[in-house]
């Protein structure tokens, strides 16, 4: 997912510089950001509502904390892609 965000970032940088078409880049960004955020958000909902004991198990060791940190990182990157896409979409 992080690789997809990096590809989108390069697309924004180079395609916008050559074509100047902000609507297509914005639409791609919003859809890609939603796709990137989907799995970590599903993991968070599953963890909070359906696996309450898993929260205690995750907080006991470094692998659990690493898993939570990676999900948070992917969610943050997906959110940034959505913001960049929305900004490109709404800019004239």
Residue 43 makes CB contacts below 8 A (sequence gap 6+) with 71
- The pLDDT value recorded for residue 75 is 94
pLDDT higher than 70, residue 44: yes
Do residues 89 and 22 touch, judged by C-beta distance below 8 A? Answer: yes
* Mean residue pLDDT across the chain: 83
Whether this prediction's pTM lies above 0.85 is answered by: no
Instruction: Give the residue-averaged pLDDT of 40-64.
Output: 75
């Amino acid at each position: 997912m992080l690789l997809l965000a990096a590809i989108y970032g390069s697309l924004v940088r180079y395609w916008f510089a050559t074509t100047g078409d902000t609507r297509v880049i914005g639409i791609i960004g919003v859809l890609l950001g939603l796709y990137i955020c989907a799995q970590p958000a599903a993991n968070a909902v599953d963890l909070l509502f359906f696996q309450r004991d898993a929260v205690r198990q995750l907080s006991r060791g470094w692998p659990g904390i690493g898993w939570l940190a990676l999900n948070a990182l992917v969610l943050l990157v997906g959110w940034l892609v959505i913001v960049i896409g929305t900004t490109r979409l709404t800019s004239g």
